[in-house]
Structures are given as C-alpha cells and as structure tokens.
Amino acid sequence: MPERTGLRRRLLTLFGALALACVVAIAGGLWVAGRTEPVAPSVLNGALVAGFVILGLVVWLWFVLDQQLAQPLDRLAAAFRARAHAGITRDLSEDLGRARLLGDLAPAADAMGRALTETRSALDEAVARETTRLAAEKSRLETLLADVPVAVLLCSAEHQLAFYNGQAVEILGGGTAPGLDRNLLDYLREGPISHAYARLHEAGDPDAASDLLCATVSGGQMLSGRMRVLRRREPGVEPGYVLTLRDVTADIAAHTSRDALLSEVFDRVRRPAANLQTVIGVMAELEGESDRPDLSAAMRDEVEALTQAITELGARHDAMQTDWRPLVSTRSGDLLDGLKGRFQAEGLGLETESLDLIVQLDGFEIVGFWTWLAGHIARDGLARDFRIEIEEEDGPGAVMRLCWQGEPLSVGRLDGWLPEVLGRDTGELTARAVLQTHGTEAWPETSVARQAVVMPIRQARRASRRIQPITRKVVYDFDLLGKAKGTKVEDTKLEDLTFVVFDTETTGLEPSQDAIVQIAAVRLVNGRRVETEVFDTLVDPGRPIPPRSTDVHGITDSMVVGAPDVIEAGRQFHKFAEGAVLVAHNAPFDMEFLRRQEGAIGKAFDHPVLDTVLLSAVVYGQLEPHSLDALTARLGITIPEEARHTAIGDTVATADAFLRLVPMLKARGLTTFGQVVAELRKHGRLLKDLND
C-alpha cells in the first residue's frame, strides 16, 4: 500500500525539526560557554533574540513553501488523478497560476496531461468505430427482448437479478423497476424457485428446463414460469439461471369459476330432476285409481324450476366464455383488411366501412366466421358481392354487419348452418363456437334496400391518436453473475457494492423542528447509475412549508397535497435502499431527519453510509471548498439551474460525482469499503462519519 503521509505534513515535520534543532544548538552553545565562566546577561539576551529570529525565519519559510509549493503540488496531484482516473478534462490554468515556484514542472505536467487526454481521445474514437456494429446488434437484441410477451429474468445462483425486461417490471414491480442486484425472493415466494433450481442443478443437463407455478410474496398474483440453468460458469461461482414468467392469475380465476359453475349446474339440476322422477313415479303407481291426488301442479313447479336453472346457468356459462379465452385488442381497419384478403381468395367481392375503432375479439376466428358465412350465402345463390360495416353503439360495444343485395336469409336457415365447422384451416371450430367464445349471437335483418346478418361485439372503443406507451427498456449487467456474495461490507471492494445515492428537501434546517418534503434516490450497481431505478416522491410534512424554504427548493403547500406522509414515504425509501450502501452530500443532515422517524416507520436506517463531503476531503484535501457546487465544478459535472436544490437534481449530481471519485480513491490505494471509512475518519473535524 502506498505511503499516505501528505507532503504538507512532511514539510511541517521537517521545519519543526529544524526549528527544534536550532533552539537546541543555541541552548547547547550557551551551556558549553557557561561551563568555563558565567554567561553575561547581554550574551544571554542576544542568544534569546537570535533564537526567536531563527524560529520566525523557519516558520516564515515553512509558510511560504506550504503556500507556494506543498498546496499547489496537492492541487496538481488531485487534478491529475481526476484526469487519469475519472476522465476529467478541466482547464488547469488556475492550478498552474498557483504553482509559480515549481518552475517548468507544472507546465510540463500539464503538457503530459494534455498528451494523455489526446491519446485517450484517439483511443476512444478507435474503440467507438470498432464497437459501432456491436452497439447496433446490442440495440436490436434489446428491442427483441423488450418485445417478448413474457417477463424474462436472469439471476445468479443467489437469486440476485442481473437482467429484467419491461414485462418483468409490470409483474414484479407493479410498474416500478425491481432493481439490479436485488434478490428475486423479495418479490416471489422462495419454495418453487429454490426447488426448481435445485432440480436443474442436480441434473447437470444445460438443456433441461423446469416448469413451475409460484406466487408473489404478497400472494396477489399466481405466475407460471419456466427455468433453465445457464451454461456459463465462473470459477468458484455457481451458475445462474433464466426464468420466464407469465401472470396466470386470471386464468386460474377462470378455471375456478368454471369449476364452481359446473358444480352448481349439477347441484341445481340434480334436485329438480330427482323431484320430477319422484313425481312421475308416484303418478305411475297411482295410475287408474279414482282418488289419486292431482300432481300436475307439483310437476309444473319442478319443470319451471328446472327450466329457470338451466336458462340462468346457460347465460352465466355464455358470459364466462370471454373470460376463459382472453380476447385481443384489434384495430377495425386491420380486421377489415384481413377480411378483404380472405374474400378475394374465395372469389367474393367485398366493400368495407368502419370508424377507427379498437375492438376486443379473436381476429382469426371472426375472419373465418364471416368468410364461411359469405361462402354459404354465395353457394346458395343469394349473393356474391358483399359489404361489411362496423358501427359504434352508444354503450361499450359495436355491431358488425354483413350486407348484400338480393334474397333474404331466414333465421331457421342460419341456425341450421351454425353447427357446421368453418373450414379445413380451422379444425373442428364451428360457427356456433365462435359466437359462444365472443359471448354474442348472430341473426338476419331484412329491409327493402338490403339484406344483412348482424353480430354484436361486446367491447369496442374509439382509437386514440395518442399511442399507449409500452415499457420496452431491458436492464442488465451480466457481470453480476460472476460475483459471489457473502463478504463482509468492510472487506468488500467498492466496485462490488450496490449504492443508493439520495437527497432530501425539508421545511428547514433543524431536524428536531422541521420535516421532510421530498426524498429522491438513484441506484448505482457495478459502477454505473441504473437510469430506470429511481425513487422520487414528494412528502406531506403535515405542517405549512415556510416561504424561505420554498424559495430554496420550490416546493409549495399545494404541491404536497395528496402526497404520502413521512411514514409511508420512509417505508418506500427504506425498501428501495434495502441491502445498499447509502451515499449523500452532507449525510449527517439527511440521516438525522430519517433516523428521527425510525420508530414511526418501523424500520431502522442502519445502512453503511458514505459522505461525498468527506470523500472530497480525502481526494482534494481539507483546505479546498467541499460544497456540492464546488465538487461538481472540479469534476466537470454541470447541474442544470432548474435542477439545483431539487432532491432529484442534487441526487443525480451527487451520484455522478461519487462515480468519478471512486477511481481516484482506488488510485490512492483505497479499494475496500473499510479502507475508505478509515480514511474518512481522519477528516472528522469537517463532518462526523456515520459508520459505527
């Protein structure tokens, strides 16, 4: 490990030793002179004056060298560490102006730094040219994975997330990103996942897959999944796995409803049928007797009950058809275009008319139904040229009409056709099954101008010009698969830790009297900021926000109306930061506000903490200003004016500054969390370190 004693401390020690040596030399000379004869008072006074003059000269010389040599060298060293390890290209003219006593060393060092920057730029350009094709392929792969209609997750053997797509965000996070390097078992129940992984791992076959059924931790969703263990194996690290998930909660509910309906059918039909059988048996036994009772009323009651039960149960069964087979949102124009193509293939003419509607139906079955029906009408000689219209109704549905000029179609004739299969391409699918699937029916209409067959569509709406956005981004870091867990935090390398950088805005500066009005945070995983994993919420402080505070952060009383209180927001933030190291600028201030609410929240904010104020002091020295503005300026980070003094704006700036400080810390030999904390505690006069 490199020697960490600074130049300024060494100079102070050197000149302190020099001053002490001068004093000892003068005292020694007086002592030697006094052994032969008493020293005259004038000589003693002269020696005393000489001693003070020498001490003054030594202190002055130390001060000059500290100001003109040591401090400029420290600044130059920090600036070149920033250039070498953090990619900073800030102009060094100000630092060179303070280093006049260094002669040609400062310009030579600056020239070397510029050469390094130019070399790095040329290398970056060459690498960029070589990786353009790979970046394009990566983008295409991400697009393909984003459009997979199931949740795709890639996890390590310890169930830490290394990849997830947009569908996984909806299934696991309810619209909030689940988070790289988080544990999958925070979202899914452990049993099915662990058992499936154990089965596949013991099998040792990379082509084997295991189907599973699991539930979310809350139990609100049932998910059908398939797991496959990865071929890739890192030395000393168990292989990870790929898991695909599909929400089958609605399917299981439909199964349950169908089973319940079937049981009710048997129960409600069995009793009237048994009663009818009993009545008929009694009537048979008493047949021919003159005084037999009149059982016709009882029979009518049972028949009526049976008929009513069958009618009601049949209607409920028809209503469940659309729940059993989920129907797809289809644009009416696309449906009509498909119909036109099929009609042309059958040699039939077709005109279409429709508003721009979104209809809920199975397009394949509907196209097959109308093509089959038009073919039947043509074969019976009623017409060969048709028109299909889709009209919006007042309610949630629409109406489709197949129209033609010519002879009408009777109801009985249409009903006689419905049990037929639609054609060779549809297997055993019948026209009546299509109507049942869509919970609808079809009937003929006759008018002087035209003939038609009408089919209601249960769900339809006007198409909007604004397209509903889809969560398409995939988030991944495959390096997480090769990192073993279990090392103590203090022994863990900085690049192996997950950080949550956060900031708060408050009603004032006194944690004992004021309250939080906004919390924002971002996650840093494997040395980069994950753009999709952001926490940002306003907080209702339960008290008026002073105008002087609003002038700083811009948050007014009206803006926090309806926002969660500090208890709910604190719980959400604690969940977001779970398992991570917290990072903040002036962390004691923000942590004091959070820790005062631990009792109400029911969670302890006992995370490891790093403070960018202290990190800046480690890298640049205590004499430099360490405000967020000063730090970001030194690191070449620009904070937009509109984002300054907002929780999310300051959080992003702090995160970017932290990411640039880390390689500079590593260059000083501070590679683990424990080493960094030990160095931070040397700057305790600036701020208290919060790691006990």
pLDDT tens-digit map of 6-53: 677 777 788 888 888 888 888 887 777 777 777 677 777 777 888 788
- Looking at residue 270, its pLDDT comes to 62
Backbone angles phi, psi at 489, to 5 degrees: -60, -45
For residues 627, 632, 635 and 640, what is the CA-based torsion angle, rounded to 10 degrees? -170
318 and 361 co-located in one domain: no
Instruction: Compute the Cα dihedral for 167, 168, 171, 176 and give only its sign.
Output: negative
Burial of 222 (0-12, 13-18, 19+ CB in 10 A): middle
- Domain membership flag for residue 128: no
Give the mean pLDDT of 420-437: 82
CB of 526 within 8 A of CB of 499?
A: no
pLDDT of residue 4: 52
CA-wise closest residue to 272 among 229, 310, 243, 318: 310
pLDDT of residue 178: 79
Q: Output 500 or 72, whichever has higher pLDDT.
A: 500
Distance in angstroms (rounded) separating the CA atoms of residues 571 and 568: 5
Say if residue 264's pLDDT is above 70: no
Q: What is the mean pLDDT of residues 667-688?
A: 88
Laid out side by side, the sheet with 241-247 consists of: 210-215, 222-229, 241-247, 151-155, 161-164, 475-476
d(CA 365, CA 422): 9
CA distance 159 to 135: 28
Task: For residue 403, tell me if it sits in a domain.
Answer: yes
Helix (H, G, I), strand (E, B) or coil at 325: coil
Task: Look at 292-301, 395-404, 532-541 and tell me which has the smallest mean pLDDT.
Answer: 292-301
Look up residue 184 and give its amino acid.
L
Q: 160 and 210 share a domain? A: yes
Residue 101: what pLDDT? 59
For 109, residues 6+ apart whose C-beta sits below 8 A from its C-beta are: 76, 80
- Strands of 475-634 (E only): list them: 475-476, 498-506, 516-525, 528-538, 581-584, 609-611
Query: Which of 12-21, 437-446, 577-586, 665-674 is least confident?
Result: 12-21
- pLDDT averaged over the chain? 81
| Winning range, highest mean pLDDT, from 147-156, 195-204, 250-259, 612-621 | 612-621
Q: What is the CATH number of the domain that holds 504?
A: 3.30.420.10
Answer whether residue 137 is part of any domain: no
Q: What is the pLDDT of residues 435-481, one digit of tens each?
A: 888 888 999 998 877 899 999 998 888 876 544 444 456 777 777 77
Q: Is residue 475 part of a domain?
A: no
The domain tally of the chain equals 4
What CATH code is carried by the domain that includes residue 354?
Answer: 3.30.565.10
274: number of Cβ within 10 Å: 11
What pLDDT does 233 receive?
Answer: 64
User: pLDDT category, 3, cuts 50, 70, 90?
Assistant: very low
Residue 255 clears pLDDT 80, i.e. is over it: no
Strands, E, within 258-395: which ranges?
328-331, 349-354, 357-361, 385-392
Distance CA 508, CA 513 (A): 8
pLDDT top residue among 619 and 287: 619
Q: Is residue 279 in a domain?
A: yes
pTM strictly above 0.85: no
DSSP class per residue in 186-198: GTB-HHHHHHHHH
What is the identity of the amino acid at 276? L
Q: Residue 141 corresponds to which tokens in the numbers above?
A: 């792969």
Q: What mean pLDDT is predicted for residues 71-94?
A: 66
User: In this predicted model, which residue has the larger pLDDT, 304 or 576?
Assistant: 576
Instruction: Tell whether 183 and 168 lie within a shared domain.
Output: yes
- Residue 77 confidence (pLDDT) above 80: no
Does the annotation count 255 as an active-site position?
no
Q: Is the pLDDT of residue 90 over 80?
A: no
What pLDDT, on the 0 to 100 scale, is given for residue 298? 67
> Letter for the amino acid at 252?
I
Q: What is the pLDDT of residue 471?
A: 47
- Give the range of the structural domain holding residue 391, as residue numbers without chain letter: 328-458
pLDDT at 625: 86
670-689 core/surface letters (b: 16 or more CB in 10 A; e: else): bbbbbbbbebbeebeeebeb
CA-based nearest residue to 566, from 544, 539, 605: 539
461-486 in b/e form (b: 16+ CB < 10 A) is: eeeeeeeeeebeebbbbeebbebeee
Question: What is the reported pLDDT for 572?
Answer: 93
Give the separation between CA 216 and CA 226, rounded to whole angstroms.
Answer: 15
> Is 615 part of a structural domain of the chain?
yes
Average pLDDT over residues 626-636: 88
Residue 252: pLDDT above 60? no
437 and 497, same domain (yes or no): no
Element (H, E) at 222: strand 222-229
pLDDT at residue 436 in the model: 82
Q: pLDDT tens digits for 126-144? A: 777 777 776 676 677 667 6
Q: pLDDT value at position 452?
A: 94
Q: What pLDDT, in 10s, does the model give residues 361-412?
A: 888 889 989 999 999 999 988 888 999 999 988 778 899 999 999 888 999 9
- The answer to whether position 230 is within a domain reads yes
- Which pLDDT belongs to residue 564? 94
Please tell me the distance from the alpha carbon of residue 169 to that of residue 163, in angstroms, as a whole number.
11
DSSP label at residue 67: I
pLDDT digits (tens, 9 = 90+) for 643-657: 777 889 999 999 999
User: What are the residues whose beta carbons fall under 8 Å from the beta carbon of 428, sequence distance 6 or more?
Assistant: 421
Residue 544 shares a structural domain with residue 425: no
Query: Could you tell me if 359 and 305 lie in one domain?
Result: no
CA–CA distance from 408 to each of 29, 98, 345, 501 (Å)? 136, 100, 25, 74
Query: What does the pLDDT average to over 267-286?
Result: 64
Q: Give the per-residue pLDDT at 1.
A: 37
Q: Which H or E run includes 403?
A: strand 398-404
Q: Is the backbone of residue 72 left (phi > 0), alpha (psi -120 to 50) or beta?
A: alpha
* Whole-number pLDDT of residue 285: 62
Look at 112-121, 294-303, 495-504, 659-668 and tell me which has the smallest mean pLDDT: 294-303
Which residue among 201, 376, 574, 645 is the active-site one? Answer: 645
Q: Do 90 and 79 touch, CB atoms closer than 8 A? A: yes
Contact present, 680 and 618 (Cβ < 8 Å):
yes
Where do we find the tokens 């030194």? Answer: 634
535 neighbors 521 (Cβ within 8 angstroms): yes
Q: Taking Cα atoms as reference points, which of 220, 324, 304, 305 lies closest to residue 262? A: 324
CA 18 to chain centre: 62
Does 611 lie in the same domain as 529? yes
Do 526 and 555 lie in a common domain? yes
Same domain, 76 and 98: yes
* HSE toward the beta carbon, residue 511, CA cutoff 13 A: 12
Average pLDDT over residues 294-307: 67
526-555 average pLDDT score: 91
Q: What is the pLDDT, as a whole number, of residue 60?
A: 85
Q: Are residues 301 and 424 in the same domain?
A: no
pLDDT tens figures, 314-323? 666 655 555 5
Does the pLDDT value for residue 102 go beyond 80?
no
Output DSSP code: residue 421: B
| Residue 613 located in a structural domain | yes
Say if residue 278 is in the same domain as residue 316: yes
**612-620 vs 647-667: helix crossing angle, rounded to 10:** 40
| Measured CA distances, 434 to 277, 327, 441, 457 (Å) | 36, 12, 9, 12
Class of residue 284 by CB neighbours under 10 A (exposed 0-12, middle 13-18, buried 19+): exposed
- What is the C-alpha separation between 352 and 336, in angstroms, rounded? 7
pLDDT at 351: 92
Give yes or no for residue 295 having a pLDDT over 80.
no
What is the reported pLDDT for 502?
96
CATH of the domain at 264: 3.30.450.20
Angle between helices 673-680 and 612-620 (to 10 degrees): 80
Query: Are 335 and 309 in the same domain?
Result: no
Q: Is 625 helix (H, G, I), strand (E, B) or coil?
A: coil
> Among 162-166, 316-320, 338-342, which stretch is predicted with the lowest mean pLDDT?
316-320
Mean pLDDT is lowest, of 410-419, 471-480, 546-555, 637-646, for: 471-480
